Amino acid sequence: MKWYFTVGFTVLVMVTTLLIRIPVPGGGYFNFGDVVIVFCGLYAGRRSALIAGGVGSALADLIGFPLFAPITLVAKALLGLFAGMGKTAGSWMKNIWPLIGALMMVTVYFAGTWIMPSFGKAAAVADLPANLLQAGFGFVGGRLLFAAYTRIESLS
């Protein structure tokens, strides 16, 4: 994948993360960046998705929620890495790899929130349902976007 695709996807992840923010109980927010990360992984592969997911999401957090930027960098980079493994995988593994990435993202956010002194266990548990919903939406949305792209590409 060319470097400019990675840069473009990084900006797209940042913009879709910042565009619509729906607050969740623990202080974070629900967004559409994960849809782009999963799509990027399936389209461009693990390296581009790792960079776009981690850097794009962390930059968005630096603008709106800087305390979580380091955790977001790791969580979204893992989402991108695993989603990107689906690019070259067999048909049913195209679903499994992004799902593993989504679960890894939720795990990193849970552990990261738990160990932060200003948040702790209660905040980690309170954020868990929203993080699972975010991960599920990103997985489904990214897979659907990639399926639509594949269908359109096959028509041309």
Q: Hey, what are 25's tokens? A: 């109980």
| Cα–Cα nearest to 79, from 17, 23, 152, 121 | 17
pLDDT attached to residue 27 = 64
Domain count, the chain: 1
Residue 131 in any domain: the answer is yes
Residue 49: inside a domain: yes
The answer to whether residue 1 sits within a structural domain is: no
Angle, vertex CA 43, rays to CA 37 and CA 47, nearest 5: 65
Range of the structural domain that residue 121 is part of: 11-16+33-155
pLDDT class for 82, splitting at 50, 70, 90?
A: very high
Examine the pLDDT at 96 and tell me if it is beyond 80: yes
Residues 13-63 have pLDDT tens digits of: 999 999 988 887 666 678 999 999 999 999 999 999 999 999 999 999 999
CATH of the domain at 75: 1.10.1760.20
Q: How confident is the model at residue 65 (pLDDT cuts 50, 70, 90)?
A: confident
More confident residue, 118 or 135: 135
DSSP string, 24-86: -TTS-EE-SHHHHHHHHHHHH-HHHHHHHHHHHHHHHHHHH-GGGHHHHHHHHHHHHHHHHHT
The terminus-to-terminus CA distance of the chain in angstroms comes to: 21
Whether residue 6 lies inside any domain: the answer is no
Closest CA to 147 of 47, 43, 44: 43
Q: What are phi and psi of 86, to 5 degrees?
A: -75, -15
Mean pLDDT within 78-88: 97
Q: Give me the chain's average pLDDT, please.
A: 94
pTM of this prediction?
0.94
